[in-house]
Amino acid sequence: MAETTWRPASARGAGGATATTRAWRVWSSAAIVTAVVLAVLVVPPVVNLDEQAVHLADKLLPPSWEHPFGTDDVGRDLLVRCVYGLRVSLLVGIVAAVVATVVGTAVGALAAACGGWVDRIVMRLVDVFASVPHLLLGIFIVAMFRPGVWPVVISVGLTHWLSTARIVRAEVLSLRSRPYVDAAISGGASRWRVTVRHLLPGVLPQAGLAAVLMVPHAIWHESALSFLGLGLPTHQASLGTLVQGARSSLLAGDWWPTLFPGLFIIVPTLAIAGLAGAWRERINPRRRSELML
Amino acid sequence: MLELRSVTAGYDRRDPVVRDVHLTVAPGEAVGLLGPSGCGKSTLARVAALLHRPDRGQVVIDGEVARGWRHRAPRAQRTAFGVVFQQPRLSADPRLTLTQLIAEPLRATGRAAEVPGRVADLARTVGLGDDLLARRPHEVSDGQLQRACLARALVLDPRWLICDEMTAMLDASTTAALVAAVEGYRARTGAGLLAVGHDKVLLERWCDRTVHWDELSGDAAADRTT
């Protein structure tokens, strides 16, 4: 008799992935994120290398035991530059995601809690912001400041709160019609108290998830801005400036200055997104994990 | 005196669920409102408690016409009503412990100092043990949660109680305990009661007067006279 394997639909995840591959994905993501966090927190103080030290005699060395990622066009060790760059990019990504989430949560909660014309005006403004491409608006904002970390954080933060505002508004609107809000009103609670005590705590898991999902996106934006020469100053290692500095070498056939920073952009951000996707499936099992990057 | 004068209310102006309804509750009176599910009696209860703005008509509380609903109602007017809803699960914030749940109206009205005494008092009134008070809604049964919701409704000493299918989800002994707690409160304070439900036997034993949904609306009243 022919054996047919049958799996319940509940064992299938994104795109028909089984529970096993999903678990594997979560654990590998967790391992990568842990490694990244250890690398950026522990390595720089312990190794204590000068990532900006120039050794012109060692320029453009291919990967070797001494320089696992090779060296760049002024002889700086790329492994060290990548770790420092990841540190800067991760910091920018996290702070920008927090800024975006705080702004988005505040705007979304305000719109939903006030309702009426406040809601309509605020959400139309959100639509206007959303109709301009993120990157264009981001470029416009960084162009107003001198190059540095904070303009990039502000630029990425201020262009990415829109989706969070929409998510939070929808969530607050659904919570607002619960009987426990009626009970609170009847118990004398002010609008402010209802929002802070009952509505905001209810949307925090969603907002937190949005923040984590935002981190990879913010890192990509930082890289894009720096790659365009508008973000961080070129001597400061970030994943974007590293890829930008490597462009000319690539044309000369030196692949390592592009490959390794590129991998440092892609692998950690995918790992963070993988973890966030798993978290989302836990708190909201209906939505399958598409990478919301 | 709580009066609803030709109230029309609903969620779509073109198709209101409550049409031209008149209802009065005298001070200290217990009125039972009977009706099949989905007829609009919960909406009427929410209008009476100033939680839902009617499309037309007036709510008059002790001679004062209500001008605002929900947050727009003056706090003193809102807190004159203690409301108990049908589903305790939905009417309790899942993040608060039962103690916090009961105490919430006191904190919201700046009377946090009274919390320990009042909560202990009310927990005894509605029959909640101390061990339950530290739990969250998902750790107690529907009946226990509804007891806490009743305690919350009573905590500000309301002049009017609105019980919207308060006991529909509960067993007979919990129903008896909750009704006894409401009646004890009314005997002590002289509060009026509007109890909405579909259990004719219960409402007729509980209330001074029961009215059927069909007797309330202007249309039906007009039909009967012809």
Residue carrying the six token digits 């206007």? A128
CA A126 to chain centre: 20
In angstroms, the separation between the Cα of residue A194 and the nearest Cα of chain B is: 9
- The residues that bridge with A228 in the sheet, in sequence order, are none
Residue A289 confidence (pLDDT): 44
Neighbours of B65 (CB within 10 A): 10
Q: B189 and B125 in one domain?
A: no
Neighbours of B205 (CB within 10 A): 11
Q: B102 and B16 in one domain?
A: no
Q: B211 and B163 in one domain?
A: yes
How far is residue A41's CA from residue A251's CA, in Å, rounded to a whole number?
34
Alpha helices in chain A (DSSP H): 19-47, 78-114, 116-131, 134-142, 149-159, 162-176, 179-186, 191-193, 200-227, 239-251, 256-283
pLDDT less than 50: residues of chain A: 1-3, 8-15, 286-293
Nearest-CB residue to A193 (from B70, B78, B108): B108
B130 CB-side CA count, 13 A? 2
In angstroms, the separation between the Cα of residue B116 and the nearest Cα of chain A is: 17
Residue B147 confidence (pLDDT): 92
Residue A287 confidence (pLDDT): 45
- Whether residues B156 and A179 touch (CB distance < 8 A) is answered with no
CATH for B69:
3.40.50.300
The encoded tokens of residue A253 equal: 């056939």
Domain ranges of chain A: 25-283
Size of interface A-B (CB pairs under 8 A): 69
Q: Read off the pLDDT of residues A177-187 as tens digits, 9 standing for 90 and up.
A: 888 999 999 98
Q: Which residues of A touch B104 (CB under 8 A)?
A: 184, 187, 189, 197
What domain range includes position B178? 2-80+158-225
Q: B152 and B184 in one domain?
A: no
In angstroms, the separation between the Cα of residue B218 and the nearest Cα of chain A is: 28
Instruction: Kindly state whether residue B89 falls inside one of the protein's structural domains.
Output: no
- Whether residues B91 and A182 touch (CB distance < 8 A) is answered with yes
Q: Does A182 touch chain B (CB under 8 A)?
A: yes
Residue A253, burial from CB neighbour count under 10 angstroms (0-12, 13-18, 19+): exposed
Nearest-CB residue to B71 (from A183, A185, A187): A185
Residue A17 confidence (pLDDT): 59
Nearest residue in A to B84, CA atom: A183
- DSSP per position, B110-154: T-GGGHHHHHHHHHHHHT--HHHHTS-GGGS-HHHHHHHHHHHHH
B178 near B126, Cβ under 8 Å? yes
Q: Does A185 touch chain B (CB under 8 A)?
A: yes
Nearest residue in B to A184, CA atom: B105
pLDDT less than 70: residues of chain B: 218-226
Looking at B156, B175, B199, which one is the last position of a domain?
B156
What's the domain count of chain B? 2
Q: What is the DSSP letter of A291?
A: -
Phi/psi region, residue A15 (left: phi>0; alpha: psi -120 to 50; beta: rest), is left
Residue A251 confidence (pLDDT): 78
Residue B10 confidence (pLDDT): 86
Q: For this complex, say whether ipTM is above 0.90.
A: no
Q: B126 and B115 in one domain?
A: yes
Q: B54 and B22 in one domain?
A: yes
Q: B186 and B149 in one domain?
A: no
CATH topology of domain A25-283: MetI-like fold (1.10.3720)
